[in-house]
Amino acid sequence: MDRTPAAPTRRAPVVLAVVASVLVGAGVTALTWWRLGPVTRGTVWAEDGGVFLRERVALGPVDSLLHPYAGYLHLVPRLLVDLGWAMPIEDYAHVVSAGSCVVVGAVAAAVFVLARDVVPSWPFRLVLAVIPAVLPLAPYEIAGNAANLHWFLLFAAPWCFAYRARTWWGSGVVGVLTGFVVLTELQTVFFLPLLLLAWFPRRDAAGARVWPRALPVTIVAVLGAAAQVVAALTDDRVSQPGSPAFADVVAGWVLQPFAGAWDADVGAAVRFVVEHGWVGVLVPLTLLVLVVVAAVAVGTWRARWMIVALALVSGGVWWAALLANGGAAQDWSHPVAALEAVPPQRYAAASGLLLVAASVVSASVLVGWRPASTSRRTGGAARLVGVAAGWCVVALLVVAAVGNAAPGATRRSDGPVWAGEVPAAVAACDGDPAEVVDVRTAPWSAKVPCSRLLPSR
């Protein structure tokens, strides 16, 4: 009997990919949680104790899921609030914070897998995947709460849309993920053109064309985007629209998303410009633009479209935020010392996620580029410059991540810690389950039925 070992199957690479993505997701979850600090983790933020919780209590766990708020559908945040409400009431803040960190970890794991066609080198994909956990501005407002999870799902959107699924099973999984992404963030519509990338065939080892299974993701993305657009057109927004000057949009993007991509202290960038002028800020920006342009010039067509999309939507998210929220506008093009006190904006963190992603993809392209020049000297020099530029970008990102890794000040650093507020709320119920009492949150308060606060009899 022939006992020759069977040839290796395709299962081993798949298993390795699954294990790697799980490790990436777990690591990003843990790092995101740690960077928040104990007080921030235990404090309920904004809509998590406001409209999301209020509508969960009033509408129930099903009707509240796709109930529009401020022109958006917020599927994943409302699911997390459902989870937190199902747990012991004193644990609500920690459950929502932990769940939000797990979602960020899931996004990182998905990006690590889905970016394979555009970023084939796993070390660069790892850097790309951990951006949500290491972005300097992330803990200040958008990390660890359900109210801002939509920014992280926006980060996942281009990779869901552009992915070329090899199997119907894989396409189905990505389709489910796409549903959660699109039904949580309206601005994923900016990335819809990337769906075209998912329909182009790839070549197998023998050089034959293999058509991807793009239909499920396309259907889910288009229908979800349509639902978001309907919500945006029919639901009222509380905030008043603004009309910022284009110069202020650009200058604000430089002073917040761009500066905040490297240092959480965005006030330092304003201070530098006030004291020394714009040159010191525009020089590194120009160098980054050159890296991005070079990558677009020499990269594959898929990488080119992805870099352009990430860079444009980075600016688009910032501009749209200033247009939609009049109170967010500032005279950024004429900075004065008073602007140093303007804290990092949540829109800046979202824009920064996409900007850093464009930088990492560009670095990956330049490091992996092989010039077609017939001159060894010319081609070798060009490749050396490209490799050096790519690794410099990665080095700067690592330095920024390490320098901003420790837990710092956030918008929840002063509490109030939810669990510490519950005893006073119980006392305010005065034993009457029919009452509704306020539980302090940041920056508002939550209205909690005493029936949830009092022990059951």
- pLDDT class for 49, splitting at 50, 70, 90? very high
Q: What is the pLDDT of residues 60-112, one digit of tens each?
A: 999 999 999 988 999 999 999 999 999 999 999 999 999 999 999 999 999 99
The C-alpha atoms of residue 306 and residue 164 are separated, in whole angstroms, by 14
Q: What is the pLDDT of residues 170-186, one digit of tens each?
A: 899 999 999 999 999 99
pLDDT mean across residues, the chain:
91
CB 71 within 8 A of CB 239: no
CB 32 within 8 A of CB 138: yes
Give pLDDT, residue 7. 45
Interval 113-117 mean pLDDT: 95
Return the ∠ at Cα 278 (arms to 272 and 281), rounded to 5°: 70
Closest CA to 218 of 187, 201, 197: 197
- pLDDT class for 200, splitting at 50, 70, 90? confident
Give pLDDT, residue 375. 54
Interval 383-411 mean pLDDT: 91
As given in the structure block, the two tokens for residue 404 are 């901003």
The C-alpha atoms of residue 443 and residue 33 are separated, in whole angstroms, by 21
Closest CA to 361 of 297, 306, 319: 306
The C-alpha atoms of residue 97 and residue 93 are separated, in whole angstroms, by 6
Type of residue at 343: P
- pLDDT class for 379, splitting at 50, 70, 90? low
Q: What is the pLDDT of residues 216-244, one digit of tens each?
A: 999 999 999 999 999 999 988 777 777 88
CB 216 within 8 A of CB 175: yes
Q: Domain-by-domain residue ranges, the chain?
A: 13-403, 423-453
Q: What is the pLDDT of residues 299-333, one digit of tens each?
A: 999 999 999 999 999 999 999 999 988 767 788 99
Type of residue at 389: A
Q: What is the pLDDT of residues 251-264, one digit of tens each?
A: 999 999 999 999 99
Interval 50-63 mean pLDDT: 95
434: DSSP letter: T
Angle between helices 346-368 and 301-324 (to 10 degrees): 170
Give pLDDT, residue 383. 84
The C-alpha atoms of residue 230 and residue 224 are separated, in whole angstroms, by 10
Give pLDDT, residue 457. 44
The C-alpha atoms of residue 421 and residue 417 are separated, in whole angstroms, by 7
